[in-house]
Structure 1
């Protein structure tokens, strides 16, 4: 009967299940996870652990210390059970004999020794014809191939889903139309012609850079992550609203536009972005009430997010009638 611990999954199985769950959650889960962890990281960790388990399986098992007691073959030969005290080890020069003993006299013991010497010696089992090294390699190789197959399958799922449902799944002409619209809105804020591009290659923004957008202060070009571009595209061209994602994408676009206008301080830039984000949202298709509600929510969330990114926390003057209020004559903020 197997012990309960024997039924527990192996570390290798847990690794593969964990990888599959993480990749699926990364693809279909919250954007916060996608922005915090690059997708290649779990694949790299899984590959390293697969190789670790493979190399570990190739190492020879530690040699067992031989049992000095009577072996199973000895007990079977003399017709005794598993009780080791029923057999007596007798050494005669290089010869070792296990003799059944239950209080016999010396003469009776000598007779048992003679009898044991006359018993036929069991022939050793024929050596296995298979190559033991090859047999030892077979299971680790199969496990490694299975692990690499799982990693490849998950990578294929990621590639297919991203190619058909993400920003890359939008046809090229529609992407060009959308980015032109984003550039138009950013130019309004920057008060000059600027260009917004979506960083499909991930060279400028994304998980590695820990940013949804980037722009040179006073420059003419800004990059947004494909995820933010997708949210803006859904709003501007398809009329789809996903409250948190849509609001965040609008603020990111406005934030980078203010950098292009020449504002360098991140907290001040964020404050201005929250105030102009409502106008951008309305021009992209939101109602007045929805746009204002989204920006107020973003302002509330800024204090919470500021704990992780203090530079982006809006300063105390970012309030109704404060120094950073762009419309002090209006009793509404942002």
Structure 2
């Protein structure tokens, strides 16, 4: 890969990383490790590619030049040029089909022409200067430096290790709290488990949560559990969309435990209950309400790929699904 293209790809990757950090929506759908892994892989590819090129032999030649190419270069003699040094100057000479003695004669003729101030050979190609060794070394060091910075960010500066980074006591108290909040909505005893093994929910199941309709057991992904832990026990509201999503999913599964099976209706109830749930977990009323309004607004977009999750038309202020028709706020 040419140096200019490599630099442009690096810049594009940095821009994407910055956009990810500034976009709460991207953070809500793309896990933290993915952009770092992609960028680190890109840098390692550049680094390994450069080291391989350093030890590789000359590349195989491609197709033969066309007739017009040969004419522009000065004729058939230039099909096999030779580079010689004459009085400290690199000179290309046409040597196709010539013996060593004939090449020596060309060298002497070129030397005479140079002494007269004439070109050594007519239409001689200009050799492409190689980058100084110092510049090539700096390019490799640049790749190593970028990989090192990424490693520092990922393993040192990026806070904690997510749900798995919590000790057992913190995980237990989080599940206890989430179970208690789910029970408030379900109207009976409930148990929320954070499925760290991915047996019930996660990327493979394409679900952030799962619950037994009318039952007692619900499951959340460890990412959502960790976000709710940070909110409830560390007073960290985090990224707006991530926190809103975590609250909405917990409320959604709690309504399934309550006995509601329709996904669209369950979403409608969850967005409304999520306001009070968010307050109990540490948000202000206004912030919790804004988060649930965002979830309701996003439902029309996300629901296109899974129409059963679209809220019904009666999910509105004063509609049949309004849990607090006496209030002017919705949700």
Shorter-chain TM range is 0.5 to 0.7
Structure 1 segments of 4+ aligned residues over 6 angstroms from their partners: 80-84, 87-91, 145-150
Three-state SS of the structure 1 residue aligned to 2:254 is helix
Query: Partners of 1:147 and 1:203 in 2: how far apart?
Result: 39
2:261 corresponds to? 264
Alpha-carbon distance, 1:215 to partner: 2.8
Q: Which structure has the larger Rg over C-alpha atoms? A: 1
Listed one character per residue, the Cα deviations across residues 148-170 of structure 1 (whole Å, up to 9, x for unaligned) are: 99668745642445562644444
Listed one character per residue, the Cα deviations across residues 272-311 of structure 1 (whole Å, up to 9, x for unaligned) are: 1012122323333445455444433432343344345544
Q: Structure 2 unaligned runs (5+)?
A: 65-76, 110-135
The alignment's TM-score, normalised by the length of structure 1, stands at: 0.61
Alpha-carbon distance, 1:267 to partner: 1.4
When the two structures are aligned, how many residues end up with a matched partner? 281
Alpha-carbon distance, 1:204 to partner: 4.5
1:43 corresponds to? 37
Change over 3 Å in CA distance of 1:60–1:42 after alignment to 2: farther
Whether 2:279 is the aligned partner of 1:279: answer: no
Change over 3 Å in CA distance of 1:61–1:68 after alignment to 2: closer
Query: Partners of 1:43 and 1:311 in 2: how far apart?
Result: 34
1:19-58 matches, within 5 Å, as 28-38=21-31, 39=33, 43=37, 47=41, 50=45, 53=49, 57=53, 58=56
Alpha-carbon distance, 1:174 to partner: 2.6
Query: Partners of 1:23 and 1:272 in 2: how far apart?
Result: 36
Query: Partners of 2:147 and 2:305 in 1: how far apart?
Result: 32
Alpha-carbon distance, 1:240 to partner: 4.1
Change over 3 Å in CA distance of 1:259–1:61 after alignment to 2: same
Whether 2:56 is the aligned partner of 1:62: answer: no
Alpha-carbon distance, 1:70 to partner: 7.1
2:311 counterpart (303, 310, 314): 314
Listed one character per residue, the Cα deviations across residues 7-54 of structure 1 (whole Å, up to 9, x for unaligned) are: x4353x55566666656765x554533443353587379659839947
2:187 corresponds to? 191
